[in-house]
Amino acid sequence: MEKNTCMILALDVTDREEALRIAEDVWEFVDAIKVGYPLILATGLGIIRELAEFAPIIADFKVADIPNTNRLICDQVFEAGADAVIVQGFTGRDSLDACLEIASEYRKDVFVVSEMSHPGGAEFLQPAAEAIAKMASEAGAFGLVAPATRPERVRKIRKIIGDKLTIISPGVGAQGGKASDVIAAGADWVIVGRSIYRAESPKEAARQIAEEIEAELRGEN
C-alpha cells in the first residue's frame, strides 16, 4: 500500500450506490478504502472488486478464529480481490500465522488489531496490546491497528515495534481523535469513517483532513 495522503476511508455505509458515489468522490484524498461487515453483509463480496476501481481495498473482518477457519476466511477475502485483511491478534500466534500464510500465497497484506479505540477497548484488550504488537512484529505482519482516541498508546506501540510494521489508526473525528495528533504519535495512516461519509460534502471533509495531515507532516502544526 502506497503512502501518499496517509488516510484510509472506512466505508461503513450499507447501500451499494452510496458506497460507489462516496468512493468516486473522495478517492484522490485516500490511500485505501476499508470495507467491513456493514457494507459487505448488505451488498455482497462483489463490492470489493467494484470499489477496487478507486483504491486498494482493506477487508476489515477482524478475523478471530482457529487457524483452519482463519485460513478459509482469508482465502475467500483475497479471492474476492482484497489487497489486505484485518485480523485480531488475541487469538494467538497460530491463528495469525494461518492468515499470514494465505496472505503470502496471494502476495497480500495482513493488519493485526492490537488495541481498540472505543472505551471498552481499554477493558480486556489494552492489557494485552503490547504483547500482541510484539507477536505481530515477530510473525511478520504488514501492520497494526492502534487507537487514534489514545495517541499516547500509538506512541507506545510505535516504540515497541520500531519501524518494522506500519500502524493504521481508527477513531479520528466521530470518536474524538485528531488526525494530526495520531500522525505525530507515529501512525502511518488514519482511518476515517463517519466524519467523511456522513458529511454534507464527503469530498470537502476528506480534503480538510488530508490538508491537516499534510500540514502536520510539513511540521506546520
Q: CA 6 to CA 11: how far, in whole Å?
A: 16
Q: Which one of 3, 62, 164, 203 is the catalytic residue? A: 62
From the CB of 96, what's the least distance to ligand O7M, in Å? 14
Cβ 86 to ligand O7M shortest distance, Å? 4
Min dist. Cβ of residue 111 to ligand O7M (A):
7
- What is the Cα–Cα distance from 217 to 36, expressed in whole angstroms? 29
> Nearest CA to 85 among 155, 148, 36?
36
Instruction: Say if CB 168 and CB 186 are below 8 A apart.
Output: no
Binding site for ligand O7M (CB under 6 A): 10, 12, 36, 60, 62, 86, 113, 116-117, 121, 145, 147, 170-171, 173-175, 191-195
- Measured from each CB, the residue nearest to ligand O7M is 193
Name the residue nearer to ligand O7M (CB basis): 98 or 168.
168
Q: Which is nearer to ligand O7M, 32 or 98 (CB)?
A: 32
Which residues have CB under 8 Å from 83's CB, separation 6+? 1, 32, 52, 56, 57, 58, 108, 109
Q: Is 62 a catalytic residue?
A: yes
Contact indicator for 172, 190 with CB cutoff of 8 Å: yes
Report the DSSP beta bridge partners of residue 73.
Answer: none
> Which of 12, 50 has the CB closer to ligand O7M?
12
C-alpha distance across the termini of the chain, in Å: 26
Residue 102 or residue 205: which is nearer to ligand O7M going by CB?
Answer: 205
CA 26, chain centre distance (Å): 17
Least distance between ligand O7M and beta carbon 36 (Å)? 6
- Residue numbers annotated as active site: 62
